[in-house]
Amino acid sequence: MFFDEAAIQVKAGQGGNGCVAFRREKGVPFGGPSGGGGGRGGDVYVRASARLNTLVAFQHTSHFEAEKGQHGHGKDQKGRKGKDVHIEVPLGTVVRDRDTGQVLGDLIEDGQQVCVARGGRGGRGNASFATSTNQAPRISERGEPGEARRLALELKLIADAGLVGMPNAGKSTLLAAVSAARPKIAPYPFTTLQPNLGVVTLDYDTSFVLADLPGLIKDASHGAGLGHQFLRHVERTRLLVHLIDGSANDPLGNYDTIVGELAAFSERLARKPQFVVVTKMDLPDVSEMWPLIEERFAERDIRAVSISAVTHEGVQALLWAIAERLSEIPAEIWTETVEGEPLVDEKAFTISSDELGWHVHGIAIERTALMTNWDQGESAARFQRVLEAMGITIALREAGVGEGDTVFIGETELQWGWEQLE
């Protein structure tokens, strides 16, 4: 089975904790603070690899977590950074945030990567808090938690030309006849349950990648049949080869159905260059009807050609025509627009209340609360000063906070007091 979609969860490493320590040196009776900071947590990257062609590996492994940063040590020793995690995916994989729909990356080149979760900052040790008025601080920070995300991976095959058409139009037969690919072939609809890629080599300098995509039916763009699952793969191709079953009751009607489904899925697909190819010319009835079919396409100003993948009639001429047309089309691959992270004011905050208590939300203050070491009296006092400096203390009082009320700073639960948070 072909796996072209996957859902995974990633978590970057937490930063290491800072250290409270003082120098103990011979001949130095009052050594200063020497606690080092913690190392940053490891990041999580998604990286494209030419060795892979499906997302099947994520059916078994869907959780990835980077290493935590090492804690700081005395003698001003900073903790080691946590090891990064690199998640390998096939070329053509689009990475999205499942919760927001944001496109984080579209990986089309071997080795191309995108950071999907940043490791947490390492906490500072007490050496970082020394001042002229506080020469022996007993303050250190905890490491910041790493980012966590739920990701959607979507593979869009990269091929030069794509075979499209109704079920049983002869796409798999043609691919098997012109390349080393061996797709399943049978005389019934929906034989192809997954896309197949084949390399067509015409001479030493001329070759291209041809994709056989599952057959489309009416309303495929809205979920009917099998083809709607694979329409995304057509977006990467530069040229469409539209196969029409010459033995069908209404070849022109089949053509209109496919064109309509391509347009319904994406206007970009409808505008792609196309070759219209009538298949199964080895059948006497089709051979007899070919002049009429050709004429009806010509009335629409559409040039159709005929082939038989079984006898190879017209196949070589078609392949050279495809190669020539591809040489005229820019080799650019259409990619998803990668959305940057929106700019936000980290110092901004909001205050709300409910039956549980008061809630303060803001990037900077929530980070400070998470990194504050509440077991240290000096750290708690410093957090109180941060609240006052950011204007949160006054804002809470104006909102009506009372003595003994519960105040949540993000996920951190505190008890409000007029002079300090305990």
Q: What is the pLDDT of residue 185?
A: 43
Could you tell me the end-to-end alpha-carbon distance of the chain, in angstroms, rounded to an integer? Answer: 58
Going by CATH, does the domain composed of 161-328 fall within 3.40.50.300? yes
Where do the domains of the chain lie?
5-155, 161-328, 350-415
Q: What is the pLDDT of residue 30?
A: 67
Q: What is the pLDDT of residue 197?
A: 72
* DSSP code string of 331-367: -PPP-PPPPPPPP--TT--EEEEETTEEEEE-HHHHH
- By the 10 Å C-beta count (0-12 exposed, 13-18 middle, 19+ buried), 51 is classed as exposed
Distance from C-alpha of 183 to C-alpha of 186, rounded to nearest angstrom = 10
Distance from C-alpha of 32 to C-alpha of 50, rounded to nearest angstrom = 54
Q: What is the pLDDT of residue 418?
A: 54
According to DSSP, the β-strands at 63-65 and 5-11 are: parallel
* DSSP code string of 71-99: PPBTTTBPPPPPPPEEEEEETTEEEEETT
Closest CA to 143 of 72, 44, 63: 72
Distance from C-alpha of 264 to C-alpha of 58, rounded to nearest angstrom = 31
What is the topology classification, in CATH, of domain 350-415? GMP Synthetase; Chain A, domain 3 (3.30.300)
Q: What is the pLDDT of residue 5?
A: 84
Q: pLDDT tens digits, the chain, 422 residues: what are they? A: 456 789 999 999 999 999 999 988 777 666 789 999 999 999 999 999 988 878 888 988 999 999 999 999 999 999 999 999 999 998 889 999 999 999 999 998 899 999 999 999 999 999 999 988 888 899 999 999 999 999 999 888 777 888 888 877 777 778 777 765 444 444 444 444 456 777 788 888 888 888 777 655 454 444 444 444 556 677 778 888 888 888 888 888 888 888 887 888 777 777 888 889 998 999 999 899 999 999 998 998 889 999 888 888 998 999 999 999 998 887 666 667 787 777 788 999 999 999 999 999 999 999 999 999 999 999 999 999 999 999 999 999 999 998 889 999 988 999 987 554 44
Determine the 3-state secondary structure of 166 from DSSP.
coil
Cβ atoms of residues 103 and 64 within 8 Å: no
Distance from C-alpha of 28 to C-alpha of 200, rounded to nearest angstrom = 78
pTM (2 d.p.)? 0.76
At residue 315, what are phi and psi to the nearest 5 degrees?
-70, -45
The residue assigned the tokens 């977590």 is 65
Distance from C-alpha of 314 to C-alpha of 379, rounded to nearest angstrom = 81
Neighbours of 400 (CB within 10 A): 10
What is the topology classification, in CATH, of domain 5-155? Spo0b-associated Gtp-binding Protein; Chain: A, (2.70.210)
Beta bridge partners of residue 49, listed in sequence order: 90
State whether the Cα torsion 196-197-201-202 is positive or negative. Answer: positive
Task: Report the half-sphere exposure of 246 (CA within 13 A, side-chain side).
Answer: 25
Q: What is the pLDDT of residue 229?
A: 58
